Every structure is written in structure tokens, then in C-alpha cells.
Structure 1
């Protein structure tokens, strides 16, 4: 018995589509996406294209989007990376597409199996199961040989097993249309009829399904439980292409345990000075020390206090002295094990020690994994401002282990997420749309974290490769930082009141709002940026900073210590739209002051 029969729902008899029915469906649809689900060969693409044309809506095939993004056929993705990797990407694509407003969306046969996808489809769309029997499916799929799941000794038996296993999940769709061997126009007519009947009582159908216990029952099917993230073994490697100073960023799980193995490849037999802070040492130092020992690498440890105060001349001098006392030579390694503070400090020590030593970044916060560990910026703070003393000195290797993110307080993870969002805002609208659609996954799934970190690092690596020392568009990476650094300075780098990523979040919203004020983008762009950042719990307004008392002139004065100031003129990174950041030089100080005065009155 089908779900529709169990619910007592009867579909109208098929009839030719007419303008009244089309108008009724469009009106009842509202802003929803029509999502077609079902087995391969059920006709989702063919019927979907004609249905979209009849309704005057865009049609998108999720598989075609995946192929375009990966620049390779789906069968090749399966062969090269495996089904798990494909499913992760498929989910991200669908999450993004569901933000696109009314359309007809054809999904791959396995897409609806993911519970997160089903939940988002329920929120933003109406799902239709195109239900074809085995005989019909076999007849149709024989026409193509590009189905990776059917590349078995007995494809017909494989298809039967897939249909049997997936059928109970497809029954969770809002509506069902039998996919038969009739003309495609007839199928479009039947689908329109199902929509016309089902849309006005969609919530009623869903409540009835819930009362029948379908969703609850499905959680007991082991095959379709959300897969545990504990077995996420996929790694991404991003290459920073700088000629003879090129290096890899390795992103994945379990990398701390393999740190010695990775480091020994680039520096066999080297001695290592691990620079870390007290908090990270307690959590992760023993794992790294053991890994180095097992790889035949001698190590010594230099521990500094946690927090921004360690980025000082005094601490820098102490670390240099301790590294020299440990007889670290130029071909040995400084290892930065920690967040951005440790990475910046240890990197500057490496840049200075014996006039330049090699170093490895093992970033332990999301912020450092996507930002400070990549690109070779090293440095310490001055009483005059942040990062004003330093050097460009590229690491020899970066190991970004997503397992360490499990030990981060939520506030620190959020702060790092602000930098992830930055990469979407400066030049990758699709990445920002994915984050909008499924930020929760980045907070909770290791596989999604690997993806988000890899995209962020790829974006930064591309920019660094063409502008290593920030003579041009590398400045785009500072979106939000002119505002954010000034706010940090005025709080005396007190992490209880404001951490760097929170300053960047407020700064990006300020940059977007300032862009709108100057006419570079619409207010809706700024509202969108603020809504997303606030939605994940980040501060977005200057007054969100606890005990804030500085006035607009004080903020402006702090901005003049920004590294991007040229001949006394302020430079900002502004936006023409999502993914369209640009460098704006010589912005008038009075414009900035008026804007800041208005920002301070926002509640």
C-alpha cells in the first residue's frame, strides 16, 4: 500500500493541464521549490523540464549542477572519490539550490535519503515522488550506461535491491505520482493534478503522515540513519603555489596522530621546537610529541601564556632565546601548535631565528585553520596597534586537523566561522549561499568542516599565490578588519569582551552597511550579511561589545593605525554585492566618522 493510500488521499483523475490549474498551482506554491525525487530512470529530469515550462518556472537538475561544479562526470566523481564524497557534495548543492525561490528541482536518486536534505526540502519546498515500477525502471536505465551504482555483475538485481531499500524513504515525500510509460505531456498533466490537489492541504498531509508515525519508524531503519561522522576519513590537500616556497595544506581528521609522519617527509631527522600555549599543551601536546618521537624526530617544547598578550616583544624574545638554547638550526623546524596567536608568534620567531628557519603550522582553532596559518603573515603587536611588527615568512607545511575543533568552546568556533563567511563575501557567492543554507552542518559535521576549511584555504591560497606581500588584491582578505582591528584595540585586546573573529563579524557588517551608505550595494545586501552572522550567534553591532564606551572619533583614530593606511589616507574593503568585494582607497575621514556615529546609535 502506498503512502497516499494509507493516508486516504485520492488524486484527481488525470486530465490535460489548463491555464486555471496552472494559475492555481502557482498561487498555492508561494515561494516553494517543487522537488522531484525517485529512482534513477523515474523521469525526474524529462518530466521536470516540461513541468517547469508549463508553470513558467526555472528548471534545475541537481546532478547537472554537481557535474558543472566538479568539472567531471558523476561516474568519475564516484570512481575518484567514492560515494560518500559525492553524497556530501550533493547535499551541499541541494541546500544551496533550495534557497533559490520557486523552481522545479530534479534530484539524484539518492539525494532524498539524507535526513538533513529531507528536512530542508520540507521547510522550503514540496516533494513529489515519481514512482516507477521495476520493469519500467529497467527498460529506461538500459538506455544509458552512466549509472555508477549499476556498474555491477547483475545491474537488474542491483536496481531491484535499491528500489526495495529506498522505497520506504521515497514514501515520505509529500505527494506521489506514478511514473508510467505514457507521453511526457500526460505525466506533466498528472503531476500538475497532484500539485493542484495536494498543495492547498499540504500541512494536513504532513500532519497525517507524522501521526501515522512514518518519520519515527524510519529512524529505526539502520540503513538510513544519519551516518556517523566518526568515520570521516576523507582528506583535502590545498597547494599554495609559490614556486620554490610552495607548500601543502593538509585538511582532515586524525592529523595530530600523524603529524610526525607528515613532518618527517619534508624534514627527515630534523629537530623540532614546538611553540604552544598552556591550554593547547594540556589538550594536544602529548599527541604531537609522541607522533614526532615515533617518526624519529627530536623535539623540545616552548609554552607561552594563552591570549593576545603573548604576541609581544617580551614573549617573542623569550621564545627566540629558548629555541636557540635548544640548538634549533636553520634546517630544523619551529612547529606552531595552537591558534592564531601562537601561529603568528612562532612564525615570526621562525622568520627571525638564524635569519630564517623553517616552520610548520598545526592550527588548533577554526579561525587559524582558515586564516592565520595560511599565507605567511607572521607578527606581534605593538602598543600602537595589532600585527604592526612582523614579516612575511611562509610555512613549509600546514596540518589542519578537524578533530581538534571538538575541544573548542562554541564562542571560539563561531569566531572562526566569521572568517569562513568572509571568503564567501569577498569572491565566492555560491560558497556564501551554501553557508546560508546549511551553516548548522559546518558547526556539527566533520566532513562539512573539511569542505568549508578547504574552500576557504583554496580561496586564500589563490590570492596569496598572485600577491604574496599584499601589494594588490591580497588586501581583499581584510574585509571587515579595518573596523574589527580598531574595535579590538579599543578593548585592549581583552578576549573576555571581544575575540578577533567577533571583531571581524562586526567589521564585515559595518563594511557592508558602509558600502550601502556610499551607494556601492543595496541595503538588502548588508541586511543579508547581518542576518546570517547574527543567525549563528555572532555579534554584528558595535554596541554588542560588552561595556563599550568609546566614541566614533576614538574608533576613527584607532583605524589610522591600520596597516592599509597609505600616506595618511584610509583604505577599506567594501562590497558591490555578495561575493563582490573591492579595495576602496582614500575614503574621506568625515564620511567614516558620520557613519560610525550612526552605527553607535543602532540598537
Structure 2
């Protein structure tokens, strides 16, 4: 069985409907495993092929068969350049027929021509293993020609530094761990399903002159500092079994349902996503100057390669841009770009950009579709999901706006690598919120795994996906905040009041920090009035402090206020009904409820006590 036709003629070879669906979605594309020697491409690939009912091809074995000698002998007799040329030609032949599972040699993916062929004819999967794991696997194998040196371990690490940026261009990444191969097989199947969900056909590739290096996107930087982990900061705790490198969350709203895709490389895939979401549509990218410097070029390149016409609207960064004046400019610039109602607005940035661009999309031509590409953690787990859009007024935060759902959310985990630590911490406060309102086990998981969330990788994706699932479930049941959705405002009544008194000065207080103080205040208030145990309030405060977030009003530098100022600011909150204060209160961690008509006197007494402690 060596062709796509033979697979299609034998559907009984794939009995599992899920796997059969995946094979059908591949069409004539192959699954191509890439990665360094010892990552398990051959053994894992063989089992993967068995599960999918596809042929398995080991590229190195094909090269040896074609040459009539081992790879070590090819290196010894003809040198590495001759081997690489033969490897390139063999890979071109293997990719002509599919679907298959192909295990490549460790250097195959470094060749530009081979990468381009794989992009057109396959789905590339990087089996990513840590250096120590790889060294443990290969150190006793004497047939590796590239490791024939005085210090093979140093050679291995040098090769990894050289090859990592190329492997990182694979369509999906799966961690190669010690353990049963079936675990890796299941993770590959899930990752390829995820990838095919938003990229069911090969991307449109520009035909580039191999020597035209300026036409190619830059490779990621190569870590070079001695002693530093090769693949970023190491998590101090093991990932939870549910953790993964990519995830998809569905927001169920009938005809307006949409997907949240979470994983690496999604900005680079945005053009293909937009083309399939709205064939023939043009788009306007709304972003701020800071985000534009980091991510706009990559997004524009993706749109160009997908054949999508676009224009860009760049505004000043910061909460102050959520104003009437900037909103008017964004709308006018989108109209000047001659975008029609069937075109798209892309919000590329954090919560400010998402709120502002979404409100513009809701308003222009009485409603345009829009895509959220959140680049901050706070936006990825909260503001990009659920359709709340708007701008601020001198009377309060987000008081002018509309409910307008996006058509797609692309949460690119790579974008968080450029986020300052302070901004990442601020976004983490919103993740904590989801554990507090209704998922005590998730909060306990965060207490143990927060370092892994900060470090990146599967723990981070797991935390983002869990947060998005929680919000998606609530939004699906209460889109316009008539009831249950108000739970998402835990800590926000306090937090928004602090932001208003602070005049939205991001130098002193950013939104996530205000939420952190608000969460701690909410639990201490509940403990004061006897709703929850003081131990729960202490536990919430301890965790927020452990990750470096503020938990007391006194933690906000230079902010002077009194209890009456706080109450007045709270009365301007959107959740106030007929002048009565509305709070989200807690009976325990993971058990919150919406309380209306909370007595102002009780809140004032609590605030006076907080302010008088000086803590």
C-alpha cells in the first residue's frame, strides 16, 4: 500500500471514526516527523502509522537502500554534503505520494527546499526533547556520524542550538518524553487534528529565489549563553497530565459560534485562517505602536502569502486610547481603506486593542466581522473571549460599548514571549479568577504549577485553555450578562473603582493588578461578613503574593483615597442596578455567587478597616 488511492480504497483499515476523519482531512498530505536524533521519530512514527492505517516510511532507511550502504558509510566515503543532497532527493520522492507517515533524518528539515515541499505536501510534527533526554538516548549508540568527536555531548548541544530554530518552524510540536510510545502517538494525533481544524489545506507559499534571503522571515533567535536552558526557562514542576502544547475551545452561540485556537505560530497562520473564514474578504488590522513593532510584520506577511488585501491602523499604546477621539480615528481609517461590511477587522494586541477594535467593528456599517489575535495573557484568557467591546468615559471604565462576538480568536502562545513580566503577572490574575469562581481543583493546580505557567510550554497552554473553557461555558449560557456571566466580575467592582480613582494610569496600576487587589479584597470582605473562612482569604492572598501581585490598596504606589471615594467610584460601575451595589461574593474557593443590593454601610466599614491597617 504505497499511494493515497490504496488507502482510500481500503476504509476498513481505519475502523475508528475519529482516525478515519483525520485521514480523510489529510487528503494526499503526509504526516512528517522531524527532530533531532534520538527523539523517537522511527519508533513513534511506526506506531502512529499503525493507528492511522497508513504506510510508514523511514527516510534514512530509504537512503541506505538506495545507496546500498549505511549512513555512516555514506558520510565516510562521500562526506556530509553528498549525503544531504541525496537526502533532499529522497525526501522529494517520498512526498510525491500520500498520505503516509514519514520519519525524516535529523538534518532533513534544515534544507529550505525540503521544508517548502513538506509545507505543500505534508503536516510537519516536531518531536521535541530536552537535551538531557536526547543525550541519555544516544550516548551509547556508536553509529551516529555527527557525534564522532572528542566531546560528543558538547557536539550534540551545539547541533541542537543550530537546528532548534529550523525545527521550530514545524506545523505542530509534540514533547518527546520518556515513557510509552502510545502517549506520544495520542498527542501527535490530537495536535494534527488541531492543526487541520484551522489549516485543512496547505498554505499558499510564495515561490522564492533560494538566494533571496531578504524575502524569508527571520529565524527565531538561537540561545547562546552558557548554562542557560536551550529551550527557555525550565519549569520547576512537572506538567499536569491534561497539559498540552495546543488546544481548541468552542464558544457555542448558535449561528454565531466560534473557535478559540491556542498554541504556537498562530500569527503566522492567521492569513490562511482569514482566507478560509471569509474567502475573498479584505481586512483592517488595528494595533498599537508597541505591538506593531513586535508582531505586525509577521501578520502582514501571513496575509500577503494567503492573498488577503489588508490595511493597518496603528494607535498609541495604553488605556488612554480607549477614548472617543481614538475610536473616531479608527473608524474613519477603516472606512478610508474602503472596507465593506463583508470584510474583517483584526484586533492585534492586548485588551485595549480588542475592546476598541471590536467596538469599531460593531459600529462600522452597522456591524462587521472581526478576528481577535490577543498578544497579552490577560487578553488571551479574558477580554478576547465573549464579545464585550467598548471604550471608557470620564464617568467610568467600559461604559460605552456593545456586545459583538468575534468570528475567531487566535491565541498565539509565542506572542507571550515578548510580554514584560509585569504584564504577564497582571494577566495571570485573571487565570486565578477562574479557579476562584467555580473550579477549586484548578486553583489548587495553579498553586502547584504556576511556575510552569510562567515558564511556558504545556502548563501555560493548559492554564489558558482551562480559563477559556470556563469563560466560553459561561458566555454560552449568558451572553449578555443578565445573570451567571456576572460571576466573571469577581474582584472587578473593587478593581475598576481603583482604576478610575487612579485615572487609568498604567505606570502606577495596570488592569490585572487592580483585579488582583480586587480578588483579595473580595475574599477578605467575605471573611469579614462571615460568608467564607478566613483561611480561604489567606490562601488567595498568599498565592497572589507568591507570584508577585499586589493584594492591598496600600500596595499601589502613591494612590491616596478614602472609603467614600471608593464607594462613589463603585456606584459608576456597569453592574450597579437602580443605585444598588452588586458584588460577586464567595462562600469558599471555587464557590462564588452574585449578590445584589449589598449594603453600602458594610462595604464602607470594610474599606475603612482596610485603609486604616496601613498594610
TM bucket (normalised to shorter chain) is 0.5 to 0.7
Preserved contact between residue 235 and residue 455 of structure 2 (Cα < 8 Å): no
| Structure 1 segment 41-440 matched on structure 2, within 5 A | 149=180, 234-440=245-451
1:64 is aligned to none
Out of 500, 509, 515, the position equivalent to 2:511 is 500
Give distance in 2, aligned partners of 1:421 and 1:79.
38
Give distance in 1, aligned partners of 2:457 and 2:539.
26
Give distance in 1, aligned partners of 2:537 and 2:382.
23
Give distance in 2, aligned partners of 1:438 and 1:228.
8
Give distance in 1, aligned partners of 2:268 and 2:409.
14
| Residues 380-418 of structure 1 deviation map (CA, whole Å, 9 limit, x = unaligned) | 000000000000000000000010101011000000000
Give distance in 2, aligned partners of 1:500 and 1:401.
21
Taking a change above 3 Å as real, the CA distance of residues 585 and 151 of structure 1, as seen in their structure-2 partners, is closer
Out of 567, 573, 587, the position equivalent to 1:576 is 587
Preserved contact between residue 344 and residue 370 of structure 2 (Cα < 8 Å): yes
Shift of 1:269: 1.7
Taking a change above 3 Å as real, the CA distance of residues 295 and 150 of structure 1, as seen in their structure-2 partners, is closer
Taking a change above 3 Å as real, the CA distance of residues 349 and 150 of structure 1, as seen in their structure-2 partners, is closer
Out of 447, 452, 462, the position equivalent to 1:441 is 452
Give distance in 2, aligned partners of 1:426 and 1:228.
25
TM superposition score normalised by structure 2:
0.61
Preserved contact between residue 261 and residue 409 of structure 2 (Cα < 8 Å): yes
Shift of 1:445: 2.1
Find the residue that maps to 2:279 and give its secondary structure.
coil
Structure 1 position 599 matched with structure 2 position 578: no
Give distance in 2, aligned partners of 1:521 and 1:551.
26
1:567 is aligned to 578
Preserved contact between residue 233 and residue 253 of structure 1 (Cα < 8 Å): no
| Structure 1 segment 35-46 matched on structure 2, within 5 A | none
Give distance in 1, aligned partners of 2:393 and 2:369.
25
Give distance in 2, aligned partners of 1:424 and 1:406.
24
Give distance in 2, aligned partners of 1:300 and 1:410.
31
Shift of 1:149: 3.0
Preserved contact between residue 364 and residue 404 of structure 1 (Cα < 8 Å): yes
Segments of 4+ moved more than 6 angstroms? 224-229
| Residues 441-461 of structure 1 deviation map (CA, whole Å, 9 limit, x = unaligned) | 000022211111000000000
Preserved contact between residue 336 and residue 361 of structure 1 (Cα < 8 Å): yes
1:465 is aligned to 476
Shift of 1:430: 0.7
Q: Which runs of 5+ in 2 are unaligned?
A: 1-46, 53-129, 133-178, 184-228
Give distance in 2, aligned partners of 1:451 and 1:445.
10
Shift of 1:323: 0.3
CA RMSD across the alignment: 2.9
Taking a change above 3 Å as real, the CA distance of residues 226 and 456 of structure 1, as seen in their structure-2 partners, is closer
Give distance in 2, aligned partners of 1:434 and 1:225.
14
Preserved contact between residue 337 and residue 364 of structure 1 (Cα < 8 Å): yes
Taking a change above 3 Å as real, the CA distance of residues 268 and 595 of structure 1, as seen in their structure-2 partners, is same
Shift of 1:150: 8.1
Preserved contact between residue 233 and residue 252 of structure 1 (Cα < 8 Å): no
Find the residue that maps to 2:612 and give its secondary structure.
coil
Give distance in 1, aligned partners of 2:279 and 2:495.
41
Give distance in 1, aligned partners of 2:473 and 2:479.
10
Structure 1 position 541 matched with structure 2 position 552: yes
Shift of 1:438: 1.4
TM superposition score normalised by structure 1:
0.63
Structure 1 position 512 matched with structure 2 position 523: yes
Q: Which runs of 5+ in 1 are unaligned?
A: 1-74, 81-112, 116-147, 153-218
Preserved contact between residue 316 and residue 349 of structure 1 (Cα < 8 Å): yes
1:101 is aligned to none
Shift of 1:320: 0.4
Of stretches 383-392 and 267-276 in structure 1, the one that deviates more from structure 2 is 267-276
| Residues 115-153 of structure 1 deviation map (CA, whole Å, 9 limit, x = unaligned) | 9xxxxxxxxxxxxxxxxxxxxxxxxxxxxxxxx93879x
Preserved contact between residue 237 and residue 448 of structure 2 (Cα < 8 Å): no
Preserved contact between residue 338 and residue 363 of structure 1 (Cα < 8 Å): yes
Taking a change above 3 Å as real, the CA distance of residues 429 and 321 of structure 1, as seen in their structure-2 partners, is same
Preserved contact between residue 236 and residue 451 of structure 2 (Cα < 8 Å): no
Taking a change above 3 Å as real, the CA distance of residues 572 and 228 of structure 1, as seen in their structure-2 partners, is closer
Aligned pairs, how many? Answer: 395
Find the residue that maps to 2:180 and give its secondary structure.
helix
Give distance in 2, aligned partners of 1:446 and 1:479.
28
| Residues 14-33 of structure 1 deviation map (CA, whole Å, 9 limit, x = unaligned) | xxxxxxxxxxxxxxxxxxxx
Structure 1 position 487 matched with structure 2 position 492: no
